[in-house]
């Protein structure tokens, strides 16, 4: 079996659903169910005998050690994190707790588990540390894309906490021999993404006829990857990746934020004719320390593991908008009072104008 951490979040749930749909072995999902974790994301596999959920904190080393001893996973796929940059600016401590302390406790428990395995199992064991391209910092408009050798230059509390986790993961591999692989992926989008991130927030607000907040000039660039492609890349890394290596994962889809928002508006104009949704765009104050551009050089994973993205960005956005249109109940269930309080705090200018 495999242990997945943070499996009730956006990418972790997509990974578990895909894994089980493809006939994968049993999964134990350890998740704290923060504001970003939703049991409903895994409703489709709730009664699958191969799936089991455990409510808990990755930073609880005793608990994690007991789970590893009881279930003896052959791999850990580590998604659990505080993942939203704006929340890391509003309150960095939770990011240090989960992303740094939590990851190191997990590494320590994994190492103790791994050192007790018989040689064959120890050799096959993998700790897959799911990380981000944000650890590399910001690129100028004409600079080449991030390779795996790019220096770490994190700029936000979120990216600093993920960079720290990556350094500890590397150290546990180098010093203690734990077979760790780290992946650094670009911006994901797709079904079940919490509507605090740009794409689901824009879809959610456009469908509700609410303003679409764009930070600063909106010309910041991100590389976008459909979450299903990310899951396929992670499966390839787990199967064929080399311990001690890192792999960049990207979507070959660099877009400015304004291009992304206009693409979504165009799709929603077709689905809900009668208004031009781009009229809802509002430029608001910029994110503090806002990284200008991320871009991924994905040649290593393509060359070594034969993985490349399959979903074209415009088609992926169409499918994602369709998912949100068909799943209004999911959106309703995750946009509780706490979500509304976050939106009020994060977008004061829009609330004042409303
Ligand atoms: P998410 O915020 O949607 O989900 C995080 C999950 O982790 C939630 O289910 C939450 O309950 C759980 N969690 C948080 N703290 C925990 C703790 N202490 N113990 C156990 N569980 C805890 O995040 P996501 O967007 O699915 O991202 C998953 C991973 O992928 C993160 O490590 C993130 O840094 C990385 N990543 C995300 C993106 C992206 O675009 N979303 C891109 C690259 C890398
Ligand atoms: O690059 C990978 C990272 O992508 C992941 O590691 C993070 O977990 C994930 O949150 C994401 O980080 P970003 O900060 O790039 O994503 P976000 O959706 O928050 O913002 C995307 C861009 O859109 C960024 O330039 C900020 C801008 N933005 C965002 C929001 C929420 C806006 O202009 N308006 C908004 O309201």
Verify whether ligand 1 is closer than 6 Å to residue 188 (CB atom): yes
Q: Ligand 1 centre from 78 Cα, in Å?
A: 9
What is the C-alpha to C-alpha distance for residues 233 and 230, in angstroms, rounded to an integer? 5
Residue 282, in any domain of the structure? no
Per-residue confidence at 354, pLDDT binned at 50, 70, 90?
Answer: low
* Residue span of the structural domain in which 89 resides: 2-194+224-253+291-312
**Which residue is closest in CA terms to ligand 2's atom 21?**
198
Any ligand 2 atom below 6 A from CB of 223: no
Answer whether residue 30 is part of any domain: yes
Q: CA 201, CA 281: separation in Å to the nearest integer?
A: 12
Rounded mean pLDDT of 44-63? 98
Q: Residue 18 pLDDT more than 80? A: yes
> Is pLDDT at 33 greater than 90 in this prediction?
yes
**Confidence check: pLDDT of 353 > 70:** no
- pLDDT at position 336 over 90: no
Q: What is the reported pLDDT for 349?
A: 84
- Predicted TM-score (pTM) of the model is 0.98
Residue 40 CA, chain-centre distance (Å), reads 18
Q: Which atom of ligand 2 is nearest to the CA of 223?
A: 1
Which of 82, 134, 166, 291 is catalytic? The answer is 134
Residue pair 176/114 in contact (Cβ under 8 Å)? The answer is: no
133 is catalytic: yes
Extract the tokens encoding 185.
């992926």
Using alpha carbons, list the distances in angstroms from residue 208 to 153, 204, 211, 241, 271: 38, 6, 9, 43, 13
- Residue 193 Cβ < 6 Å to ligand 2: no
CA dist 123 and 143 (Å) reads 39
Does the pLDDT value for residue 352 go beyond 90? no
* C-alpha to C-alpha distance for 284 and 72, rounded to whole angstroms: 49
The ligand 2 atom nearest the CA atom of 159: 6
Tokens of 58: 């990755």
Across 118-125, average pLDDT: 98
Span 280-287, average pLDDT: 98
Residue 348 in any domain: the answer is: no
Residue 214, helix vs strand vs coil: strand
Q: Cα–Cα distance between 147 and 262 in angstroms, integer?
A: 29
| Torsion angles phi and psi, residue 69, rounded to 5 | -65, -40
For residue 322, tell me if it sits in a domain.
Answer: no
Decide: 248 in ligand 2 pocket, CB within 6 A: no
Torsion of CA 52, 54, 58, 61, to 10 degrees: -110
Alpha helices by DSSP H, listed for the chain, are 10-21, 61-71, 85-90, 93-95, 103-115, 119-124, 157-176, 198-207, 227-240, 257-271, 299-305, 313-326, 328-334, 337-346, 348-353
**Catalytic: which of 31, 51, 57, 158?**
158
**Per residue in 159-190, pLDDT tens?**
999 999 999 999 999 999 999 999 999 999 99
User: In this predicted model, what pLDDT tens digit does every residue of 178-237 receive, in sequence order?
Assistant: 999 999 999 999 999 999 999 999 999 999 999 999 999 999 999 999 999 999 999 999
pLDDT band at 351; cut points 50, 70, 90: confident
Residue 219 lies in a domain: no
CA 248 to centroid of ligand 1, rounded, Å: 18
Look at the chain and report how many structural domains it folds into: 1
Residue 341 lies in a domain: no
For ligand 1, whether the C-beta of 183 sits within 6 Å is no
Which ligand approaches the C-alpha of residue 32 most closely? 1
What confidence score (pLDDT) does residue 308 get?
Answer: 98
Tell me if 44 is assigned to some domain. Answer: yes
Whether 28 maps to a domain, the answer reads yes
The 10s digit of each residue's pLDDT in 63-118 is 999 999 999 999 999 999 999 999 999 999 999 999 999 999 999 999 999 999 99
Start-to-end CA distance of the chain, whole Å, equals: 51
Ligand number, closest to the Cα atom of 255: 2
138 lines ligand 2 (CB under 6 A): no
Residue 131, domain CATH: 3.40.50.720
Q: What is the mean pLDDT of the chain?
A: 97
The pair phi, psi for residue 187, each rounded to 5°, is -65, 125
Q: What percent of the chain has pLDDT over 90?
A: 98
């Amino acid at each position: 079996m495999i242990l997945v951490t943070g499996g009730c979040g956006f990418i972790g749930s997509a990974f578990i659903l895909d894994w089980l749909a493809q006939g994968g072995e049993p999964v134990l999902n350890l998740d704290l169910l923060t504001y970003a974790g939703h049991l409903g994301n895994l409703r489709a596999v709730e009664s699958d005998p191969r799936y089991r959920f455990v409510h808990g904190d990755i930073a609880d080393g005793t608990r994690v050690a007991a789970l590893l001893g009881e279930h003896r996973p052959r791999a850990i796929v580590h998604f659990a994190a505080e993942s939203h940059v704006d929340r890391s600016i509003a309150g960095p401590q939770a990011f240090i707790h989960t992303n740094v302390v939590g990851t190191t406790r997990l590494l320590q428990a994994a190492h103790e588990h791994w050192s007790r395995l018989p040689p064959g199992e120890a050799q096959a064991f993998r700790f897959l540390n799911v990380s981000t391209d944000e650890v590399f910092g910001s690129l100028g408009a004409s600079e080449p894309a991030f390779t795996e050798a790019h220096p770490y230059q994190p700029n936000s509390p979120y990216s600093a906490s993920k960079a720290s986790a990556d350094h500890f993961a590397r150290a546990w591999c180098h010093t203690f021999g734990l077979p760790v692989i780290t992946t650094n992926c670009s911006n994901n989008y797709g079904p079940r993404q919490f509507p605090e991130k740009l794409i689901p927030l824009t879809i959610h607000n456009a469908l509700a006829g609410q303003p679409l907040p764009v930070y600063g000039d909106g010309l910041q660039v991100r590389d976008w990857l459909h979450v299903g492609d990310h899951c396929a890349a992670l499966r390839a890394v787990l199967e064929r990746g080399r311990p001690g290596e890192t792999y960049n994962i990207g979507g070959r889809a660099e877009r400015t934020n304004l291009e992304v928002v206009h693409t979504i508006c165009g799709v929603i104009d077709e689905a809900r004719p009668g208004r031009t949704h781009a009229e809802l765009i509002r430029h608001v104050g910029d994110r503090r320390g806002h990284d200008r551009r991320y871009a991924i050089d994905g040649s290593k994973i393509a060359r070594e593991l034969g993985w490349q993205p399959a979903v074209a960005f415009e088609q992926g956005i169409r499918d994602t908008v369709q998912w949100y249109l068909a799943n209004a109940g999911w959106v309703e269930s995750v946009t509780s009072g706490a979500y509304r309080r976050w939106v009020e705090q994060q977008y004061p200018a829009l609330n004042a104008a409303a």
